Structure 1
Amino acid sequence: MANFSLEYAIEYFPEVLKGVPATLMVAVISMLMGTLLGLVIALCRMYKVPILDKLAALYVSFIRGTPLLVQIYVVFYGTPLLIETLNREWGWHLPIHDMSPLAFAFIAFTINSSAYQSEVIRGALISTDSGQMEAALSVGMTTTQGLLRIIAPQAFVVALPNLGNIFINLIKGTSLAFAIKVLEIMAYAKIVAGDSYRYLEMYFDASIIYWVICWTCERLFAWLENKYSRHERRLTV
């Protein structure tokens, strides 16, 4: 610890903070998009949609069984190739060179989070009493109405703790986005450290920032869980 400079860490702490907006943007947008995609995957598997059921199961297995960094690289190098092929074979005019590293990060993290969220959502939906859907259908509701008005609110309370864990893991996972030149927290830490060779100080700064963000998110999800659990208990009573 003799070579550790607390003064240097404090002085350049604001520089590392510059990566917070990009980190939060990737995490929040990927979480929201992953929730939508995960819901579709979960419903396909729940209702045993022909072909889509098997494809969804394979998708989830593949994403959960491969490292996030590998997925980021596949998206970063594979997406332009896919777009170029579509433009050439189908006559499309999708932009290739205008895509920023952030766009690739959104795609990669959305794909990753959707696989995990689909399992959480599916488990939460299955945990609700099946008789409630039958009751909803018996009073004239459609399946969609039953899901949205009766099943979804209960499933949300069940899924919330695991969704919180996925979001916190997403925030920490964004530290890998610097590998495709996204200027997030780790990228700024490495840039500053590269100029001074004070890597320990900069990584210390980054760890403090990640910890504060994750701790705040833990408190937020705990508050949401407590709030909606109380609401659910009142409805039950």
Structure 2
Amino acid sequence: MGKIFDVEFMIEIIPDILRGIPYTLTLAVVSFIIGLFIGLIGALIKIYRVPVLRFFTGLYVSFFRGTPLIVQILLFYYGVPILLRIVNQKFGTSFDVSRVPAMVFMLVAFSVSAGAYLTESIRAAIISVDKGQLESAYSVGMNTTQAMVRIVLPQAVKVALPVFANFFIGLLKDTSLAFAASVTEIMGQAKIEAGRASRFFEAYIDAALIYWAICIIFEFLVAKLEKNVRRNERGIAK
């Protein structure tokens, strides 16, 4: 009779599962950065009520916040190749979809999804800054762009930092869905190793502990950053 729970196997496959960390971190970090850029543009469009763009931004945010991430992943993974084939037929181009790594599709899917959520987070953070700050900037000769970059956005970032941290942790965990598109991140590696020996429980425990460890490290770094920000604010107040 075989072992019910194989600790030796669980320890043995840890190095193999760890090979998925670069994919997980790349997917989470790059998607978050691109999502911030998309979110900032979307937030400014909504705040300044830009005609036409405001409607499409609202539609974009509504769709990606209102549909499951796994559905979005599959739509990009299967939809983009179909779109490129249509472009090839219509314009006589020769885009070779088969040469595009699955990681590229996942970066696009995660970035666009992140941008939708961060649009509202950034908008709320900007709105939370006292309007008097903007008026004071105008009074000393700054234009809107200068006032946003030098005065409003730095304060908005401080307000949004905890929200950004929580969102990034969620995004980091959501990367486990990328294996649906053949990206072998942490969870993908765990499934592969588990399938070889039919030891899924042990492999999933490893994956859970690795995700947990990464989140603990990230939370520690964010706590240090928030502490430094508060210290700087107290220093300025003095």
Q: Aligned partners of 1:48 and 1:14: how far apart in 2?
A: 51
Greater shift after overlay, 159-168 or 135-144? 135-144
Deviation at 1:236, TM superposition (A): 3.8
Equivalence for 2:38: 37
**Structure 1: gaps of 5 or more residues:** none
Contact 1:192 1:202 in 2 (8 A): yes
Contact 1:157 1:229 in 2 (8 A): no
Equivalence for 1:145: 146
Identity of aligned residues (%): 47
**Matches for 1:39-54 after TM superposition, within 5 Å:** 39-54=40-55
Deviation at 1:22, TM superposition (A): 0.4
Q: Aligned partners of 1:8 and 1:213: how far apart in 2?
A: 22
Q: Aligned partners of 1:156 and 1:40: how far apart in 2?
A: 15
- TM-score, normalised relative to structure 1: 0.95
AA partner of residue 230 (structure 2): S
Deviation at 1:36, TM superposition (A): 0.3
Equivalence for 1:115: 116
AA partner of residue 37 (structure 1): I
* 3-state DSSP of counterpart to 1:214: helix
AA partner of residue 67 (structure 1): P
Equivalence for 1:163: 164
Output the aligned Cα RMSD: 1.4
**Matches for 1:83-232 after TM superposition, within 5 Å:** 83-90=84-91, 94-232=95-233
Q: Deviations over 1:56-96 (max 9, x none)?
A: 11111111111000000001011112223234334555442
Q: Deviations over 1:144-186 (max 9, x none)?
A: 1101111111100000000001110111000000000001111
Change (3 A) 1:35 1:140: same
Structure 1 residue 57 and structure 2 residue 58: aligned? yes
Change (3 A) 1:39 1:92: farther
* 3-state DSSP of counterpart to 2:49: coil
Deviation at 1:122, TM superposition (A): 0.5
Q: Aligned partners of 2:119 and 2:92: how far apart in 1?
A: 34
Q: Aligned partners of 1:153 and 1:225: how far apart in 2?
A: 14
Q: Aligned partners of 1:117 and 1:204: how far apart in 2?
A: 31
Aligned length: 236
AA partner of residue 62 (structure 2): S
Q: Aligned partners of 2:95 and 2:139: how far apart in 1?
A: 48
- TM-score, normalised relative to structure 2: 0.95
